[in-house]
Amino acid sequence: MTKRLKNNQRDAQIILPRRPRPVEKGFSTNMANRGFDFSWAMEQLCRDIVGRLDEFSHVRMDQVAVTFAQARRRVPYGLQAKLTPMRFEGGSLTTSRYGREWTVQRLYDHSGENEYLYILTFYLPRFLDHDFREKMITIVHELHHISPHFDGDIRRHSGRYHVHSHSQKEYDAMCARLVDQYLKQKPPAAQHQFLKTNFRKLAKQHGGVVGIRLPVPKLIPLQESA
């Protein structure tokens, strides 16, 4: 028995368009005067973090798509960021749910050759309206969810609390320690300066905030054929 996609092949993958490289202006990144490129700036910061901390030596940012989504309400509480794995448990491309087998849309760069295994999404303006330290902890928190095997799955802990271990408080404290380790290395201020202002000020300074926005990857049912 072989398996084929119920949907056509185009429905089974997402291709990101080629994006012009931003023009650096001071600490910021401006897309040809179209606004501050949040996705590019955040990707550069994440590259610096994973390059400096051994905890993230397994992370390959070339395969992590950094995106943003609009928070529905401008309130300080609620989801600030999330990591979307592009594989199921153990890095599998398929999973069984509701008595059926499923796969997920796959995400590639503009060349169609480099596949993204994770989508890192920040909810704006909410994320940018918190203080600098909380923003840094949020970034490290989401990066830490990436599996040490970098196989498209999340980091899984033993027991029923497989995402954040048994204690959310201890998990947050661990992320705070990693932030301290990073900042003690005195990384270039240009890498994280944009986090020291809020969304409104950043947008006013650069004429807006732009970046990559993606639809939520779809689960695709597989059907068996002889």
What is the per-residue pLDDT across 154-192, written as a single tens digit (0 to 9) for each? 998 665 545 555 677 888 999 999 999 999 999 999 999
The reported pLDDT for the residue numbered 88 is: 95
**Confidence category of residue 8, pLDDT binned at 50, 70, 90:** very low
**How far apart, in Å, do the first and last CA atoms of the chain sit?**
5
**Confidence category of residue 219, pLDDT binned at 50, 70, 90:** very high
Q: What DSSP string describes 59-91?
A: --GGGEEEEEEE-SS--SSS--EEEEESS-GGG
Lowest mean pLDDT among 18-22, 32-36, 124-128: 18-22
Task: Tell me how far apart the alpha carbons of residues 42 and 194 are, in angstroms, rounded to a whole number.
Answer: 9
User: By the 8 A CB rule, do 118 and 83 touch?
Assistant: yes
What is the per-residue pLDDT across 120-152, written as a single tens digit (0 to 9) for each? 999 999 999 999 999 999 999 999 999 999 999
The reported pLDDT for the residue numbered 191 is: 94
What is the per-residue pLDDT across 83-133, written as a single tens digit (0 to 9) for each? 999 999 999 999 998 889 999 999 999 888 899 999 999 999 999 999 999
Q: Nearest-CA neighbor of 50 among 38, 66, 32, 72?
A: 66
